[in-house]
Structure 1
Amino acid sequence: MRSHDNVSAPRSKPPSSPASTSSTAGALGRLGSAMVDRHRWVFGIWLILLIVLGAAAPSVFSSLAGAGWQANGSESVQVRELAQQHFGGNSSAAVQVVVHSDDATVADPKMAQTFTDVAAVFADDARFGAVVPPQPGMTISPDGHTGIVIAGANASTDDMVKAVDDLKSELTALSKDGVQVYPTGSSALWSDFNKANHDAMIKAELFSWPVTLAIMVLAFGSLVAAGLPLLLTVAGLVASAGGLVLLNGVTPISVWAMNFAMMFALALGIDYALFIVSRFRDALRRADPRAAVVETMNTAGKAVILSGLTVLVSLSAVLLVPAPAVRTMAVGIMLAVFFVLLATMTLLPAVLGKLGSKVNTGSLPHAKRQVHRSPRFAAWGELLHKHPWPFAVVSAGILIALALPVFGLKVAMPSITVVPENAPVRQGYELVQAQFGEGAPGALQIIVATEDAATTAEAAGRVDGIAMVTPPQAAGDSSGYSLLQAIPGVDPSDESMGTILADLRSQLPDNALVGGAPAENLDLQQALNDYLPIVIGIILILGFLLLLIALQAPLIALLGTVVSLLSTAAAFGVAKLIFQDGHGASLLGFTPQGFLDGWGPVFFFAMIFAIAMDYTVFLLATAKEHYEHSDDPKTAQVDGMAHSGRIILLAAAVMVAVFFTFALADPLPPKEMGIILGVAVLLDAVLIRLVLLPVLLRLTGHGAWWSPAWLTKALPSISFRH
């Protein structure tokens, strides 16, 4: 029954004819056959696609949006929009330029000239509104050595970040003769934050490539075969980069979308190529290239497309979160996955059919000994079959122990410490704190009807944690609004800011709205917290349904979903120990914030679960194929491990190498991302896919693959047999 999987099958078997191949092929097999037969068309269409999208790709990092970290519809966003409309752009998106001198005061001619020069930089740029010079008692420090010029925001938050990108070098160049100039504020923060993280991620990507190439050569054993993942990766990257630039013309797309797209295109491109190419090389031992492609697409192709759909479905749940940056990061990954999947289903079969046996060109000595059915992993499968309980207890125990800390996990939006110490925005921020007080960089803005302004100012001044309230400023138009600034007495990232904001909102008149940069962060964090259980629930339900449709077996679909959740929880438990508690912080070169960045749970959950289900599909689809042939659960478990274990381990090694290179980055967010994703893949591949899930197949036996008749009739017919 399993002779087709035996790599030592006689080579004298006649190759399948095109007619017989087509008659036995499923839909994906017929697709593979068509790609081989029409390879010139496939190459031509892909070439045109890459030329068209590639023309836009080079501008991807300069075109994409730099802001979007907000909760759409929140009170703080309303305040920003009202301040921008009625108060000369003096909103949270306004740019604050801190001018300081140790030996001169604001009345000194050289300081006065610097204020004039700063205003001149903004004068001809339509993105800025009113430019307000330093005001006594408000933006001039008590000792007179520091003044703040405020340039109002007259554009969207994304355009304001780009405006700072364009002008900050010109502004900092005004530092001379003992006068220092530092652009700061929310827009400047995102400008420096994005640049620092983008540079770090590009360096990490470049560093990961040699490591990845080395692993690929060892994994494929052939220089030509090892180059195929690069084909998918480059195709996916170029197409997704161009697609993001074009999409950005319709709606702002965060620059972070491309950073994540780069990472996932590389990781999944290698993943899918490993699964497809290894199966093709095995089939090539028994058939001609065209028939080998058909067999590959009938089996491995189904697993790949189901895996890709699982990744897309998991990430689609993130689109529910009303935060543009978070949504578009998911869009970036989804676009990269879509193009990598499209290339895997079309371009890769055409290339393999054209290469044929040349796919083994440049083989290393060890490659000649490689077989698709790994004897080592077959032996490992036999060991798990003989002694399931010890392995189940140990692997589940480790995962549960690592997952327990997750119950103490704290989340918050990043503090100023995530920006490099030499960044102008951080230098300006710390100077404002030193000269004006701890909470001065995080003023809360209050907009209220002018007739209630005096009452509101009094009420705000009585709120615990508010150090000062500025006099009401009436709008220059007929809107009837007044603007107040409430300065907290603590650092804007202090844990007590949430309580201060809540108290302020509850004790002010009903028509008063409270916003400002700290409020925007807290409102975004609240939205992320509110949507987290919804996102998790949708991902789990859709993940289970996809596995159920693919495997036609409710028990193993449920177990596959649950163990993926377990590895995800363990990864977050490790994240809590490292990034919140600071274990290993000195070794990794960072200062813990005492919390995990707020967007991590929603976004990383979707990413980790998608990767975990990726491996689940690979393992269980292979096991299901052998169960369909043998009707023997032991054969399904052992041969499933023998045929997919090596691929899962190698794919995981590549992903871990890619992700862990981000741990070397200086900024904290890429470090968090790299370590959390790397740990997740490591735990999932080693403890779940290579231990716990095969053991569960052993313990459940035929029950793993059982399905009631009514469910079988209701589900679409999907078979991995060929």
Structure 2
Amino acid sequence: MTESGIASPPQETTRNTRGTLGRLGAVMAGRARIVFGVWLVLLLALGAAAPSVFNSLAGAGWQADGSASVRVRELAQQHFGGNSSAAVQVVVHSDTQAIDSAAVQSVLGRASAIFAADPRFGEVVAPQPGTSISRDGHTGILIAGANASPDDMVKAVDAHKSALTALSGNGIEVYPTGASALWSDFNKANHEAMLKAEMFSWPVTLAIMVLAFGSLVAAGLPLLLTLAGLVASAGGLVLLNHLTPISVWAMNFAMMFALALGIDYALFIVARFRGALARTSDARAAVAETMSTAGKAVVLSGLTVLVSLSAVLIVPAPAVRTMAVGIMFAVAFVLAATSTLLPAALGALGHKINAGSLPKVGRQHHRSPRFAAWGQRLHDRPWPFAIAALLILIALAIPVAGLKVAMPSIQVVPSDAPVRQGYELVQAQLGKGAPGTLQIIAPAAESAQVSNTASAVEGIAMLTPPETVRDGSGLVMMQALPSVDPSDARMSTILDQLRERLPADTLVGGAPAENLDLQHALNHYFPIIVGIILVLGFALLLIALQAPLVAALGTVVSLLSTAAAFGVAKLIFQDGHGAGLLGFTPQGFLDGWGPVFFFAMIFAIAMDYTVFLLATAKEHYERSGDPSRALIDGLAHSGRVIFAAAAVMVAVFFTFALAQPLPPKEMGVILGVAVLLDAAAVRLVLLPVLLRLTGHRAWWSPRWLRAVLPSISFAHD
């Protein structure tokens, strides 16, 4: 197309298109032993730290930095013996003996001794009548103040919860509970579930890879590459944790994402390499061709993933930020391995890449006749397929309008976890709101006014007398007991009313307030993150493809699969459809960090496939100047890779849907559905149809834009 809209021949393709990546690939292939040696040293160095990753990383960080609730926690630890949201509550109950009995007092004394021996715990407060002892006198709460950061308090609970629960016996039950104990138990359950899912997904992944490649060597290579990326990222996160606390969730997500994306990248590279080997006996030349074409697409895809996840870093929540950092670490290491270690391995293997071919599967060719036929079918009858895909995506996306989000409730913890048993016992004996006490810190001179105002707020069942300090701070603290469960939607109204009616220099915090403040921050930053990701995603596609229309189409259609995935999430996790099949009790909402984080992850994956498809189509358009051939050959050369990569990702993600804790289950279902819809309905149907309908216009670029953008070509001489 010229700027007047007249068709024009493709841009010049006779130039040397080997490029930097092609030359890098040739160097890696020619110096395989050196590359293997460097990676071996790197993996040994980082691998030494990797086994400690789950014990080293931080266990908390779910807070909105700079919020009033975080300030309350800091003041409580500084002036009130650590009686903050991070304090540990030990629930002691007996059906037959009262709290003031000798046997129960002995248990309380031994629990106090455990806390006194660890400097991470602050002041220990025995159960108090009227506040932390039930009306029947058979249940009491011992509070051990927090004298360390929330992350260290979770580790402190990790260290002592076995000793505390071991105090149970002779008709006396002991359960550590509170926010620190909650994260301790949840992180443990989550870690175990993630490992089980990973172990289950590896053989499934290998089976899919063997079917995709028809060769054991070709199928095993991506798995080894991914394993190298996982080991490197695990060790890197442990080292990074010495500089700044990294959430243990970072590694959980990194494991899953590295496996999925690492296989994606390696699959694309290996498939292209096998195609190049069919045209030359020189393995080094085949590697150079592969890296200058497919390698370029992989690098651009990896950059898109990193850019998408970097947008999450603006959320002022340590756990959310470090989850993004963990995935970015893993993607960076996998990308580095794909650009260096994989070309070296391919160069060393050469035609041995096809070793171990299965007789009934056979050797797979780079150009798939089936996907070529599918591309021809889409070309000949675009509208029926486009309408069908759109109807499916729109129908699934409609429920997203009613999606509700909130921070996780106690139901995310297994029912047999000590923290949940203690939580439910406290609710049964002291009231629904007892596990979620709000904390009010005010100037001592205003304590009477604050007490009267807070007591009058609807939803506050009880307010403790002001607790004063002797350190000269002039502050008092009161505990406000709500009448509703901490995860009840009415808690937000109670908190808002307290903050609106109390004097301006009064702060309201506590665990429920921290959750609500974090949810507010996530809701606030969500549209900003979406905008950043869309703009940066479009910019990267524009740079890669040099064509504004196809870059815009590739960006916009990614929103369809994302909306549809969240629509399905609403039906399952909010409304409870299929809850029995998946084995969970619906909370009535989606976990609050889901939209922010899952949007970035889904968009990154969607753009991954977009780059694979459009880069291949662009390569064929540069060669032929025919948009029809670009569509058909683009699908013929990338369709099977996208299909196999999507199958691997769906298998990986859906294994997490079998996890017991709810957040990994949400992650597995949402990401699995998103990949399934994106590959089946968007990348292999809707986007090719849009290429058919736009023709030359899809690849047109104005002269001024070509002059501004860096010159990037996917063709290879």
Question: Over residues 534-583 of structure 1, what are the superposed CA-to-partner deviations in whole Å (9 max), with x where a residue is unaligned?
Answer: 00000000000000000000000000000001111111011011111111
Residue of structure 1 in register with 2:493 after alignment: 499
In the alignment, is residue 291 of structure 1 matched against residue 296 of structure 2?
no
2:458 to 459, 464, 467: 464
Question: Over residues 79-124 of structure 1, what are the superposed CA-to-partner deviations in whole Å (9 max), with x where a residue is unaligned?
Answer: 0000000000000000000111000001211011011011011111
The letter for the 2-side match of 1:317 is A
Unmatched tracts of structure 1, length 5 or more: 1-21
SS of 2:97's partner is coil
Asked if 1 retains the 8 angstrom alpha-carbon contact of 2:306 and 2:328, the reply is yes
Question: How far apart, CA to CA, are the structure 1 residues paired with 2:479 and 2:695?
Answer: 67
Question: Over residues 417-468 of structure 1, what are the superposed CA-to-partner deviations in whole Å (9 max), with x where a residue is unaligned?
Answer: 1111111111111111111111011000000000111110110000011101
Residue of structure 1 in register with 2:606 after alignment: 612
Question: How far apart, CA to CA, are the structure 2 residues paired with 1:56 and 1:345?
Answer: 24
Residue of structure 1 in register with 2:129 after alignment: 136
Per the TM alignment, residue 368 of structure 1 is displaced from its structure 2 partner at its CA by 3.7
Per the TM alignment, residue 209 of structure 1 is displaced from its structure 2 partner at its CA by 1.1
SS of 1:365's partner is coil
Question: How far apart, CA to CA, are the structure 1 residues paired with 2:77 and 2:362?
Answer: 68
The letter for the 1-side match of 2:175 is Y
In the alignment, is residue 310 of structure 1 matched against residue 307 of structure 2?
no
Residue of structure 2 in register with 1:117 after alignment: 110
The letter for the 2-side match of 1:202 is L
In the alignment, is residue 393 of structure 1 matched against residue 402 of structure 2?
no
The letter for the 2-side match of 1:36 is A
In the alignment, is residue 637 of structure 1 matched against residue 634 of structure 2?
no
Residue of structure 2 in register with 1:8 after alignment: none
Question: How far apart, CA to CA, are the structure 2 residues paired with 1:598 and 1:545?
Answer: 29
Residue of structure 2 in register with 1:254 after alignment: 247
The letter for the 2-side match of 1:464 is E
Residue of structure 1 in register with 2:398 after alignment: 404
Change (3 A) 1:350 1:323: same
What does residue range 554-593 of structure 1 map to in structure 2 within 5 Å? 554-593=548-587
Asked if 1 retains the 8 angstrom alpha-carbon contact of 2:61 and 2:151, the reply is yes
SS of 2:391's partner is helix
Question: How far apart, CA to CA, are the structure 2 residues paired with 1:199 and 1:149?
Answer: 29
In the alignment, is residue 328 of structure 1 matched against residue 328 of structure 2?
no
Per the TM alignment, residue 23 of structure 1 is displaced from its structure 2 partner at its CA by 7.1
Per the TM alignment, residue 487 of structure 1 is displaced from its structure 2 partner at its CA by 0.5
1:427 to 396, 421, 426: 421
Question: How far apart, CA to CA, are the structure 2 residues paired with 1:107 and 1:23?
Answer: 86
* TM-score, normalisation: structure 1: 0.96
Change (3 A) 1:28 1:367: farther
Question: How far apart, CA to CA, are the structure 1 residues paired with 2:72 and 2:630?
Answer: 60
The letter for the 1-side match of 2:391 is G
Question: How far apart, CA to CA, are the structure 1 residues paired with 2:301 and 2:241?
Answer: 28
Percent identity of paired positions between Structure 1 and Structure 2: 76
Question: Over residues 502-551 of structure 1, what are the superposed CA-to-partner deviations in whole Å (9 max), with x where a residue is unaligned?
Answer: 00110111111000000000000000000000000000000000000000
Asked if 1 retains the 8 angstrom alpha-carbon contact of 2:215 and 2:363, the reply is no
The letter for the 2-side match of 1:118 is A
The letter for the 2-side match of 1:440 is A
The letter for the 1-side match of 2:668 is G
Question: Over residues 36-95 of structure 1, what are the superposed CA-to-partner deviations in whole Å (9 max), with x where a residue is unaligned?
Answer: 122121111111111111111010000000000000000000000000000000000000
In the alignment, is residue 154 of structure 1 matched against residue 129 of structure 2?
no
SS of 2:710's partner is coil
SS of 1:129's partner is strand
Residue of structure 2 in register with 1:486 after alignment: 480
Asked if 2 retains the 8 angstrom alpha-carbon contact of 1:564 and 1:613, the reply is yes
The letter for the 2-side match of 1:292 is A
Asked if 2 retains the 8 angstrom alpha-carbon contact of 1:625 and 1:720, the reply is yes
In the alignment, is residue 101 of structure 1 matched against residue 94 of structure 2?
yes
Residue of structure 2 in register with 1:699 after alignment: 693
Question: How far apart, CA to CA, are the structure 2 residues paired with 1:66 and 1:203?
Answer: 20
Using the TM superposition, name which of 622-631 and 220-229 deviates more.
220-229
What does residue range 54-453 of structure 1 map to in structure 2 within 5 Å? 54-287=47-280, 288-453=282-447
Asked if 1 retains the 8 angstrom alpha-carbon contact of 2:357 and 2:363, the reply is no
The letter for the 1-side match of 2:51 is P
SS of 1:200's partner is helix
Per the TM alignment, residue 586 of structure 1 is displaced from its structure 2 partner at its CA by 1.1
Q: Which runs of 4+ in 1 moved over 3 A?
A: 366-369
Unmatched tracts of structure 2, length 5 or more: 1-14
Question: How far apart, CA to CA, are the structure 2 residues paired with 1:570 and 1:476?
Answer: 57
The letter for the 1-side match of 2:347 is G
Paired residues in the alignment total: 702
Per the TM alignment, residue 625 of structure 1 is displaced from its structure 2 partner at its CA by 0.2
Question: How far apart, CA to CA, are the structure 2 residues paired with 1:190 and 1:367?
Answer: 47
Residue of structure 2 in register with 1:52 after alignment: 45
Per the TM alignment, residue 595 of structure 1 is displaced from its structure 2 partner at its CA by 0.3
Question: How far apart, CA to CA, are the structure 1 residues paired with 2:95 and 2:102?
Answer: 14
Residue of structure 2 in register with 1:6 after alignment: none
Residue of structure 2 in register with 1:597 after alignment: 591
Question: How far apart, CA to CA, are the structure 1 residues paired with 2:163 and 2:471?
Answer: 33
Change (3 A) 1:28 1:366: farther
Asked if 1 retains the 8 angstrom alpha-carbon contact of 2:519 and 2:593, the reply is yes
In the alignment, is residue 37 of structure 1 matched against residue 37 of structure 2?
no
SS of 2:141's partner is strand
SS of 1:664's partner is coil
The letter for the 1-side match of 2:29 is V
Question: How far apart, CA to CA, are the structure 2 residues paired with 1:461 and 1:311?
Answer: 50
Per the TM alignment, residue 397 of structure 1 is displaced from its structure 2 partner at its CA by 1.2
* TM-score, normalisation: structure 2: 0.97
Residue of structure 1 in register with 2:7 after alignment: none
Question: How far apart, CA to CA, are the structure 1 residues paired with 2:599 and 2:606?
Answer: 10
Question: How far apart, CA to CA, are the structure 2 residues paired with 1:506 and 1:546?
Answer: 45
Question: How far apart, CA to CA, are the structure 2 residues paired with 1:116 and 1:523?
Answer: 36
2:508 to 486, 511, 514: 514
Question: How far apart, CA to CA, are the structure 2 residues paired with 1:202 and 1:125?
Answer: 31
The letter for the 1-side match of 2:647 is A
Question: How far apart, CA to CA, are the structure 2 residues paired with 1:107 and 1:83?
Answer: 28
Question: How far apart, CA to CA, are the structure 2 residues paired with 1:475 and 1:648?
Answer: 64
Per the TM alignment, residue 367 of structure 1 is displaced from its structure 2 partner at its CA by 4.8
1:477 to 471, 475, 479: 471
Aligned-residue Cα RMSD (Å) equals: 1.1
Question: How far apart, CA to CA, are the structure 1 residues paired with 2:31 and 2:283?
Answer: 14
The letter for the 2-side match of 1:180 is E
Question: Over residues 454-505 of structure 1, what are the superposed CA-to-partner deviations in whole Å (9 max), with x where a residue is unaligned?
Answer: 1101100000111010000002311000000111000111010000000011
In the alignment, is residue 673 of structure 1 matched against residue 691 of structure 2?
no
Question: How far apart, CA to CA, are the structure 1 residues paired with 2:454 and 2:616?
Answer: 64
The letter for the 2-side match of 1:359 is I
Per the TM alignment, residue 25 of structure 1 is displaced from its structure 2 partner at its CA by 2.1
Per the TM alignment, residue 134 of structure 1 is displaced from its structure 2 partner at its CA by 1.0
Asked if 2 retains the 8 angstrom alpha-carbon contact of 1:87 and 1:476, the reply is no
